[in-house]
Amino acid sequence: MNEIIENQTITIPHDKLVFVPLGGATGIGMNFFAYGYKNKWLLVDCGVGFPGDGLPGVDVLLPDPIFLADKKKDIVGLVLTHGHEDHLGAIGYLWHQLQCPIYATAFTNELLESKLMETGLLGRVDVTVINQGECLDLNPFEIEFIAMSHSIPESSALAIRTQQGTILHTGDWKWDSDPILNQETNKKRLKELGQEGVLAFVCDSTNVFGEKQTLTEQDVQNSLIELVRKYHGKQIAVGCFASNVSRIQSIYQAAVQNNREICLLGRSLWRIDAAARATGYFKDMPEFLSEQEALERPIGSVLYICTGSQGEPYSALSNLSTLTPQKNSVYFGPEDVVIFSSRIIPGNEKAIALLQKRFKAKDVTIITNREALVHVSGHYAGPDLIEMYKLVKPHIALPVHGEARELNEHASLAKKWQVPYSFALEDGEILTLEQEPKIIGQTETGILAVDGKKILPLGAEVIRKRRKMIEDGTLVVTVVLDKQGHILGDLHLSTFGLLETGSDDETALKEKIIQNINELDNSNKERDDLIENAVRTGIRQFLKEFYGKKPLIEVHLVRI
- HEC string of 338-391 equals EEECCCCCCCCHHHHHHHHHHHHHCCCEEECCCCCCCCCCCCCCHHHHHHHHHH
Residue 422, pLDDT > 90, answer: yes
CB 361 within 8 A of CB 353: no
Q: Which amino acid is at 228?
A: V
Q: Which neighbouring-strand residues pair with 169?
A: 158, 202
Between CA 411 and CA 399 the distance in angstroms is 6
Residue 34: CA count within 13 A, CB half-sphere: 29
**Residue 316: pLDDT band with limits 50, 70, 90:** very high
Over residues 426-430, mean pLDDT: 95
Q: What is the pLDDT of residue 9?
A: 58
Q: What are phi and psi of 132, to 5 degrees?
A: -65, 140
Residue 8, pLDDT > 70, answer: no
By C-alpha distance, which of 312, 370, 322 is closest to 345? 312
Over residues 366-395, mean pLDDT: 93
Residue 185, pLDDT > 80, answer: yes
Domains of the chain are: 13-212+378-457 (3.60.15.10), 217-367 (3.40.50.10710), 473-559 (3.10.20.580)
Q: What is the pLDDT of residue 141?
A: 98
Mean per-residue pLDDT over the chain, rounded: 91
Over residues 202-209, mean pLDDT: 92
Between CA 164 and CA 453 the distance in angstroms is 43
Inter-CA distances, 40 with 9, 171, 417, Å: 19, 22, 33
Higher-confidence residue of 154 and 55: namely 154
Least confident of 192-201, 262-271, 332-341, 462-471: 462-471
Helix H or strand E segment including 449: strand 447-451
Over residues 408-434, mean pLDDT: 94
Over residues 409-432, mean pLDDT: 94
**Total-model pTM:** 0.84
Give per-residue pLDDT as tens, 466-489. 777 777 788 899 999 998 889 998
Between CA 150 and CA 157 the distance in angstroms is 11
- In 3-state terms, what secondary structure has residue 256? helix
Between CA 57 and CA 460 the distance in angstroms is 13
Residue 442, pLDDT > 50, answer: yes
Between CA 303 and CA 427 the distance in angstroms is 44
CB 196 within 8 A of CB 356: no
Q: What are phi and psi of 144, to 5 degrees?
A: -110, 130
